[in-house]
Structure 1
């Protein structure tokens, strides 16, 4: 058969490339088609049909039920628009991409089948298949399968494609190409996906067609005797040319991906990338397009395989030389000998981009010199900070809550939250926790108990951060069941149906009364009165949820009423993620009492890994869901979940974030403007811990704005390592009055120490209140001044003889000593180091606050109360106490040393003594009431009286 005939009389005549890919094939000679032997089946067609129908029902009904249950959930939450906006684009993408794939795949398979039939071959199985009367349906069947498979890959990209369609500008241009950052965040991912998708699809087509040709050509042929027909060659070269062109497009896109190069001096492109690799990629793109043209030319000109091999070889050699050799030579002989000068510009690009991407380009920085130690004047200037000093370590307090307030085994406190409330007209820092349901410890876990009766937790427990009751226990402001409150904070809806603990689905408004709390010999019960959950009163709804949950008792139980509802998706983070999976949620949801209701507040972030030049979050910065890979983050949304009815709100608090603006265009009904947030809710917003931890770690290096300092890593800082170091917290909330401010505010703060040293170099705070919410402030200390760091203070505490001896004595008596986290708290212009100490009997898990350790200016004191320790610290004068500790080894104080006698007469001495006693009493009264102005005045009067009594001092 003449494969090169182009006169229209051959099997592929009339097509300029020898019959590929379309055409009627001219007067094709058809071979006689052998038939397959008939096979008798053990089942009738009717039986097979019934089996197939049963299989379809068994698989399809649960899927339909799951779909309907999803829809009912979104309907109950009044966000069906979110359901359809998520679902319809996925199916639309499946349809569009499958159609595009089919248009590409089917003609190629049809042409390949037609060409393969014309190739002489052995009378084997492949020949039987190709010549069977059903074989004409093979391209359609295989094409549909490949098209749907390729189209399904697009369904998981619905978020990326919606962002491509609705994205906007950031208003910031990258330093290399001058494109708006929005191009890289919203558009570049789509073009990358499309290019890779097309390459994968065409490669699969080439593999399938190539396999068909290979089996046909080599069946019955001897080695070395195979001649590749011209239509096969034309088909393969056409596919190869298209793939090569797509490869060239990948080089064009890789030019932009240089902005994410992780292998340079900094993240992003350096000198070699811009002056060598970028040029190489542009040249390779041009070569790839030229190679694609040459492959098409080889079809028309009937060039030999040698020519094709030369084209491919030249391309491969150029790729190796331009991508590997040329950049390596530039790096080794141009950059390395003068690296800083060559990389300086790109280091500046990285610093600027990173600070902006993490929202740290507007941090307010000040330099201060702290006082040598806490003074009475500092205490008088900042009494609110001392009033709100946190004495309860969250670990010890959680143990106390569990022992004192869980009350029954089916309740649980999972975490301690820290917040602030106005109590008695003053802003007070508080610690609180919800009493959630936990049925893991229940002995009789029947279906009724788990899903109908024990459906919710109840109430909260709260104490002031500095409040200590009898026997070293927390002084609880809100406690017990039903809740008893010692402060003006009423809770009208104490039931908790949604929380942090994992909870199974629950049915409410049934004929079974729900358990509220134990009450004497009986139990208090109630019936749910909210509109949370999904209506399940009808038989149809119960059938749907029977299939969706795989629980037949839902269908056959007689406890349901027309008003019954099912409550599920009860973990607050999982609930929010189901409504808005494109947001990243903070690992620490916290509760607040808003209008008498318990409300969960969850911080939500918009993130991206595609901000040009920005340093990505590395492994050591991971916390919660903020894992490695992101290099842009904004806390754009504050979410609330009502603990009773589960209704969610997504408040947008950062209108300038382009990513949340994009999602608002996609889901306009989901978000609520931040301006509609109530003032009561706004008063409980916090700077989120996860965001602050990421920013604090980034700023360890990126506070160095000078490229030279940054390049040499001359001033890298460390944050405390938090949970890895049991003595310190990496970041924590405090009530504090910043320098220059008139009133205290709630802050998230962290201290910094230089790398390799333990002294403190600075501290950073995120502000939480009012118009200052979201602002970052940094206070630097002079490098020539020693400011004790937390680890140094911990060492001083451990080296204090009195403390060390007492700790040993307690341990010998069988008590467990628990040292709380050491907190560094600014007080006016001084730093106060606070560390609580707890004792716990070995046979009990109830810790008691036994001592409060304070330090300032390198001096360590402790006492049973914070007031007592503070008094010792404020009254401390160098040399008055522990004088023997500072003497050289082997020396002791002189035994004859006595105080100098007063110079005044007896009557005058008595008068001065009464004045001193009066001043002392006034100081103690002022100390108890935290009136630091009165305390300072009283101590001043005491000093005057003592100076008058001992004009020459104590010898």
Structure 2
């Protein structure tokens, strides 16, 4: 094989390899662009992609040029060294086979080698920072916060937008300088034949010394800049009693950084002067001074100040900085405008007051979302491939009445298809979408304890004025397949219809239309499946849908936002939509306490997603958020003014739970605005615990329709009580408003300090201590059933607090929990009855004592019936076990006989326990 042929073959192979890379990367790029184009967000895609692309090119070119220029300065000494390769030093360095490489390496080839190395290293480092495009775009489109920090008096926009950009420039400069310095130092060392440190002074050329000195000088200038920028970073210090710069940071560390900045800058100047003076003693003194100053001001002096000035007088020294932390934290988390009031607790709840708060009473949630989800899947799943991912809570006008409801989307989960049905045709062309929604009032159940339905079944049956005209769900929380193709000749499964199935053809705008062969080829390459080309059912009218999971969908479109974990379903004008709460967040807000999302958050954006077409609208509802406004400047085609949101969608906006939980966790500490009280943690609050299914868990925020104090109308709020740290009584409750112009307002109601208000766990304990309640629940739990105590709700009504807890019963062999009892607590009384109204009547009835006695007496026959049934069942079982034991004895199976005797003993003990129950319980 000739040399020319080898070269040609190599070129062809490399060309084919490059072509394959181009095809695969090109198909990915073009199909991504088609996806954004279908959503009319082409500009957003181009901005993100090409900003990232060109920044990498620019950074790569800068690295390449800088490296290549510096390497070029080393060519002359390196070539001189290679030309005397017969020298002893060369022989010791390049032993054996390397002589061929030395002979091959000439000036031209060395130039190519340096260029290739610079390009590889340059573009390798250009891809290190994946967030660079965000940093740059936010820097050039920044919006002022109108808030300044208390130390440097800089607008917060400097820390959020400018400082990350400056740090990036500084970091890249230092990395590039150090990398270049190491590289050229190695080359100069090799070319000078240096074998020890002593040889540096005599063998290192003047050219090499000058070159290295210039790079060290550049590094020192960058180091001086680094010290200066680190002064701003002190505002994120976690060393003090609170987050942010404390006394030691401001009075010791900041002084040290100023001194080190000056020393590094002067040392760099001395190095430049030394290029002409050649006085290395001055240079060594400068470097020594720098090292000593770093030790003193970087460690010793701050430690001295902390130990001997701050710690003996900590509250006095840190008071001012604690105030800064409190103020900035409240502003960063939107807690500075919170309205605080005292709850006028009179405990004067009467039937008249209940009647005045009828809308609140009628909307107290008795159905718990957790057991209800299992009930929905059992009653309304209808087929094995349908599932309800979760239960959403919202409010609707139902037949002219303001009602709180629970609803869920019936989605199709392809993983639930029978294994033999998981063919490519079924998964990509036929089983493409879910169907319908199920909706229930929060407070009504059937006689069996199961939810009543406002919307149910397939096709949807509605029992109110809420209509669903288009129930198909192509985009949801369980649509996780990589792609599906709709509107094909195959026909899509729509919904089961008795023993047959109903089919449909998609006529929406979701997905990319496969209207030419070129697109089919690209998607076949993207998904590595030739069936996309060979299938005859795919027509030019067919549409390929991908990124159908709504959580993936929004993150793909706007990866710079954070998102709530719980998107929720909305029925609006006969169609189904998802509302996904989006947050702007950063960890660069000075002095603000950090949390799991950073140290700044706003729920400025609501994303509305059509379940049928997959179209998305990012509504900007808070135009006072500088981060959101900055993103709007960067992506003008993405964000829509909140004023353009349809009224019917706006009516279903709700305050998000994730944000509320972050805010309540912080407010439990940051309601203490006095620095001394804050320092001593004298009045720290806690989010209470409750019992659920036998376990103590942290109470979760819950939605409710209530009439807030001093308000005439009931409204939909998200609320949560507070208890003191290490105590169980309730001290306050917080509410976030969701309706109308009041959306987003936070209210905190504190209880009088001279009155005891039961906390959730105290109410739970009182339920456990109630003999009638605990006895009945214990009996239920021993009869092959599981008792589930749902959410304990703390409901403010008038100037009193009512506690409500549903009780479910679920058979061990069933996944169908049934609401069997409702516990209501008020002041010192705890009552459990079959319905909420019955419990209220017992507590607030006109003939209170007589009615309660009647209810309790009415319950005794039921308890007798349960106990009698237990005795009969246990006696029957004991007889069976005895007969089995006798049979094992006849067969000589002593092991089995022993086990049967133990079981018989347990049954007899249980029979004896029930038989000896006190008469008053029967």
TM-score (norm 1): 0.85
CA–CA separation in structure 1 for the residues paired with 2:566 and 2:332: 23
CA–CA separation in structure 2 for the residues paired with 1:212 and 1:191: 32
CA–CA separation in structure 2 for the residues paired with 1:784 and 1:217: 86
- Identify the residue that residue 277 of structure 1 maps to in structure 2: 253
- Identify the residue that residue 447 of structure 2 maps to in structure 1: 470
- SS of corresponding position for 2:383: coil
- SS of corresponding position for 1:138: helix
- Identify the residue that residue 164 of structure 1 maps to in structure 2: 139
Greater Cα shift, 474-483 or 530-539: 530-539
Q: In the TM superposition, what is the alpha-carbon distance from 1:730 to its structure 2 partner?
A: 2.2
- SS of corresponding position for 2:74: helix
Does residue 459 of structure 2 align to residue 456 of structure 1? no
CA–CA separation in structure 1 for the residues paired with 2:664 and 2:508: 42
Contact 1:94–1:154 (CA under 8 A) maintained in structure 2:
no
Q: In the TM superposition, what is the alpha-carbon distance from 1:703 to its structure 2 partner?
A: 0.3
- Identify the residue that residue 706 of structure 1 maps to in structure 2: 674
- Identify the residue that residue 483 of structure 1 maps to in structure 2: 460
4+ aligned runs moved over 6 Å, structure 1: 39-43, 876-883
- Over 3 Å counting, the alpha-carbon distance change for 1:825 and 1:129 in structure 2 is farther
- SS of corresponding position for 1:468: coil
- Over 3 Å counting, the alpha-carbon distance change for 1:742 and 1:373 in structure 2 is closer
- Identify the residue that residue 887 of structure 2 maps to in structure 1: none
The one of 703, 706, 719 aligned to 1:736: 706
The one of 552, 555, 563 aligned to 2:530: 552
In the TM superposition, 1:751-790 aligns within 5 A as 751-790=721-760
- Identify the residue that residue 109 of structure 1 maps to in structure 2: 71
Q: In the TM superposition, what is the alpha-carbon distance from 1:510 to its structure 2 partner?
A: 0.8
CA–CA separation in structure 1 for the residues paired with 2:23 and 2:224: 47
- Per-residue CA deviation, residues 565-624 of structure 1 (Å, 9 max, x unaligned), is 11111111211111111111111000111111000001111111111111111xxxxxxx
CA–CA separation in structure 2 for the residues paired with 1:340 and 1:570: 55
The one of 167, 172, 177 aligned to 1:192: 167
Q: In the TM superposition, what is the alpha-carbon distance from 1:130 to its structure 2 partner?
A: 5.2
Greater Cα shift, 371-380 or 696-705: 371-380
- SS of corresponding position for 1:467: coil
- Identify the residue that residue 351 of structure 2 maps to in structure 1: 376
CA–CA separation in structure 2 for the residues paired with 1:829 and 1:537: 66
- Over 3 Å counting, the alpha-carbon distance change for 1:815 and 1:543 in structure 2 is same
CA–CA separation in structure 2 for the residues paired with 1:881 and 1:612: 61
CA–CA separation in structure 1 for the residues paired with 2:556 and 2:446: 43
Q: In the TM superposition, what is the alpha-carbon distance from 1:114 to its structure 2 partner?
A: 2.2
Contact 1:91–1:155 (CA under 8 A) maintained in structure 2:
no
Does residue 204 of structure 2 align to residue 228 of structure 1? yes
Does residue 581 of structure 2 align to residue 603 of structure 1? yes
Contact 2:386–2:434 (CA under 8 A) maintained in structure 1:
yes
- Identify the residue that residue 691 of structure 1 maps to in structure 2: 659
CA–CA separation in structure 2 for the residues paired with 1:851 and 1:690: 31
The one of 577, 600, 619 aligned to 1:632: 600
CA–CA separation in structure 1 for the residues paired with 2:691 and 2:661: 13
- SS of corresponding position for 2:802: strand
Q: In the TM superposition, what is the alpha-carbon distance from 1:425 to its structure 2 partner?
A: 1.2
- Over 3 Å counting, the alpha-carbon distance change for 1:355 and 1:223 in structure 2 is closer
CA–CA separation in structure 2 for the residues paired with 1:769 and 1:352: 28
The one of 233, 244, 254 aligned to 2:230: 254
Q: In the TM superposition, what is the alpha-carbon distance from 1:129 to its structure 2 partner?
A: 6.3
Contact 2:428–2:485 (CA under 8 A) maintained in structure 1:
yes
Q: In the TM superposition, what is the alpha-carbon distance from 1:373 to its structure 2 partner?
A: 6.3
- Identify the residue that residue 945 of structure 1 maps to in structure 2: none
- Per-residue CA deviation, residues 462-514 of structure 1 (Å, 9 max, x unaligned), is 00000111311100111000000101111111000000114211111110111
- Per-residue CA deviation, residues 499-540 of structure 1 (Å, 9 max, x unaligned), is 011421111111011111111121011111111110113111
- Identify the residue that residue 523 of structure 1 maps to in structure 2: 501
Does residue 540 of structure 2 align to residue 570 of structure 1? no
Flag the structure with higher helix content: 2
The one of 38, 42, 48 aligned to 1:86: 48
- Identify the residue that residue 74 of structure 1 maps to in structure 2: 36
- Over 3 Å counting, the alpha-carbon distance change for 1:133 and 1:673 in structure 2 is closer
| C-alpha RMSD of matched pairs (Å) | 2.1
Contact 2:689–2:761 (CA under 8 A) maintained in structure 1:
no
Does residue 781 of structure 2 align to residue 811 of structure 1? yes
The one of 465, 469, 472 aligned to 1:495: 472
- SS of corresponding position for 1:843: coil
In the TM superposition, 1:500-519 aligns within 5 A as 500-504=477-481, 505-519=483-497
The one of 110, 113, 116 aligned to 1:135: 110
- Per-residue CA deviation, residues 418-473 of structure 1 (Å, 9 max, x unaligned), is 00000121100000000001011211100111011100000000000001113111
In the TM superposition, 1:309-458 aligns within 5 A as 309-372=284-347, 374-443=349-418, 444-458=421-435
Contact 2:436–2:458 (CA under 8 A) maintained in structure 1:
yes
Unaligned segments of structure 2, at least 5 residues: 854-922
- Identify the residue that residue 820 of structure 1 maps to in structure 2: 790
CA–CA separation in structure 2 for the residues paired with 1:302 and 1:467: 92
Contact 2:780–2:786 (CA under 8 A) maintained in structure 1:
yes
CA–CA separation in structure 1 for the residues paired with 2:120 and 2:277: 36
Contact 1:129–1:135 (CA under 8 A) maintained in structure 2:
no
Does residue 634 of structure 2 align to residue 666 of structure 1? yes
- Identify the residue that residue 841 of structure 2 maps to in structure 1: 871
- Per-residue CA deviation, residues 804-823 of structure 1 (Å, 9 max, x unaligned), is 11112112211111111111
TM-score (norm 2): 0.88
- Over 3 Å counting, the alpha-carbon distance change for 1:688 and 1:372 in structure 2 is same
Does residue 774 of structure 2 align to residue 798 of structure 1? no
- Per-residue CA deviation, residues 197-223 of structure 1 (Å, 9 max, x unaligned), is 11001111111112222333347x578
- Over 3 Å counting, the alpha-carbon distance change for 1:869 and 1:879 in structure 2 is closer
Does residue 832 of structure 2 align to residue 854 of structure 1? no
- SS of corresponding position for 2:551: helix
Q: In the TM superposition, what is the alpha-carbon distance from 1:879 to its structure 2 partner?
A: 8.4
- SS of corresponding position for 1:249: helix
